[in-house]
Amino acid sequence: MDFTTWEPVYGRILDDFGFDRTGDERARDALADLVKPFDRDRLNWAGATVAVCGAAPTLDAELDRLDDPDVDVVVAASTAADAVRDAGFDLDLMVTDLDKNPETAVELTESGVPVAAHAHGDNLPAVREWVPQFDADHVLGTTQAAPVGPVVNWGGFTDGDRAAFIADELGAKRLVFAGWDFDDPTVDAMKARKLRWAERLLRWLERRRDERFSVLDGRRDGIDPLP
């Protein structure tokens, strides 16, 4: 995903939520000062089946999907990283905007597990507090604004759908999903709106990949399509 393709969708997200692009850019620039270029060859997932774990309450009941012998790589969004590790599964990448369990991200980088740390307009204080505590060798800096320096933009808005876009960028052949609930009744109104966007973005991604994500089965007709 290049920024030229992503930017029109990003603009629609900004308009829908009333977010300020300059806030995203300010946080991105702060992150760029704290991370260094990430060697993406470390995450060469060409031809791999990647399990993308979301943090919905259904995750614990769906972790057995990671036992599938076809699953080569496990990516977890936010607190899903804790659930995956607590269940005894190896984790290949955590994707986080640092809002819930940044201590887990610190621990993972210290143990050599890469973390995709995201900067946006609402988390500048967290970026400044937590990213310096990471082992810089194991941090992939991400933004939803234009990429700058070592900070990349491979698409995605929420931690969960961003994890799927990262897997796509890194060459995944197939994406499977655990711990996703677009109708999660436990979230607040803002998070529910973000889940609507996550659903739209995954639909866009599966069309671009010419793939069918099982997590969208029964929902496609109700999804407002993106170009």
**Any idea where the domains of the chain sit in the sequence?**
3-214
Dump strand ranges (E) for the chain. Answer: 49-53, 73-77, 93-96, 115-119, 139-143, 174-178
**Mean predicted confidence (pLDDT) in 192-205:** 98
Distance CA 187, CA 179 (A): 14
Q: Identify the DSSP state of 158.
A: S
Percent of the residues in the chain that have a pLDDT greater than 90, as a whole number: 100
Q: What is the mean pLDDT of the chain?
A: 97
pLDDT score, position 227: 83
pLDDT over threshold 90, residue 152: yes
pLDDT over threshold 90, residue 189: yes
Q: Give the residue carrying structure tokens 């946006």.
A: 120
Which pLDDT band, with edges at 50, 70 and 90, does 112 fall under? very high
**Mean predicted confidence (pLDDT) in 53-76:** 97
List, for residues 165-180, the tens digit of each pLDDT value: 999 999 999 999 999 9
Q: Report residue 192 as tokens.
A: 């529910």
**Mean predicted confidence (pLDDT) in 66-78:** 97
**Mean predicted confidence (pLDDT) in 42-66:** 97
